[in-house]
Amino acid sequence: MKIDLEYLKAELKKEVTEHRYIHSLGVADTAKRLAQIYQADSSKAVIAGILHDFTKFWPKEELAKRIRESKELAQDLLDYNAELWHGPVASVVIQEWFDIRDEEIIMAIRYHTSGREQMSLLEKIVCLADYIEPSRQFPGVDEIRKIAEQDLDEALQVAFDGTIQFLIQKKMKIYPLTVKARNDLLKE
């Protein structure tokens, strides 16, 4: 794929904080390494990693508007945590801004926070990379990093368990796709 990564990074830098920029490059790096281990397309993994949080700092009203105006995005997102909105919106925005038309990249960005049932290999890789990239620090992250080297599905399931536990602890609504994603990984 002929996409100028330096251009994507420069555009990302204009949209996000320094911390988020470093996180995004960490996700790109980790996704690349996971793609090498699990034989996915590493150039797609890098592009999705760089761009997954592209709209993270857009105002909530703008994100909600983009979801309402989109025929591609699930409208029920609007009934849940606004933290879930930036991935789906970024997956639409990158099509317009960068003419990225690759469905695998688009879906990996769209579902990087929630996951979903029947995730593709690239979706799993980007979602897990977001959880374990080097600047992430939370209890248990090293254990997930270890599992990630051996078993992609198990590592992602443990990551979703952590997210679900976090939401329960905070008494927050759980967007059901994450539960579905987690159950699906247990079945596989």
Ligand X SMILES: Nc1ncnc2c1ncn2[C@@H]1O[C@H](COP(=O)(O)OP(=O)(O)O)[C@@H](O)[C@H]1O
Instruction: Catalog residues that contact ligand X under the rule CB under 6 A.
Output: 53, 56, 80-81, 83-84, 87, 113-114, 130, 163, 167, 172, 174-175, 178
Nearest CB to ligand X, comparing residues 37 and 172 = 172
Cα–Cα distance between 168 and 165 in angstroms, integer? 5
**C-beta of 186: minimal distance to ligand X in Å?**
16
Q: Are 157 and 185 in contact (CB under 8 A)?
A: yes
Give the relative orientation of helices 141-150 and 121-132 as an angle to the nearest 10 degrees: 150
140: left (phi over 0), alpha (psi -120 to 50) or beta: left
Three-state SS for 120-166 is CHHHHHHHHHHHHCCCCCCCCHHHHHHHHHHCHHHHHHHHHHHHHHH
Cα–Cα distance between 147 and 171 in angstroms, integer? 28
**C-beta of 49: minimal distance to ligand X in Å?**
11
Nearest CB to ligand X, comparing residues 1 and 17 = 17
Cα–Cα distance between 110 and 90 in angstroms, integer? 7
**C-beta of 130: minimal distance to ligand X in Å?**
5
Nearest CB to ligand X, comparing residues 2 and 171 = 171
Contacts with 146 (C-beta within 8 Å, 6 or more apart), sequence order: none
**C-beta of 27: minimal distance to ligand X in Å?**
7
**C-beta of 2: minimal distance to ligand X in Å?**
27
Nearest CB to ligand X, comparing residues 3 and 179 = 179
Nearest CB to ligand X, comparing residues 74 and 174 = 174
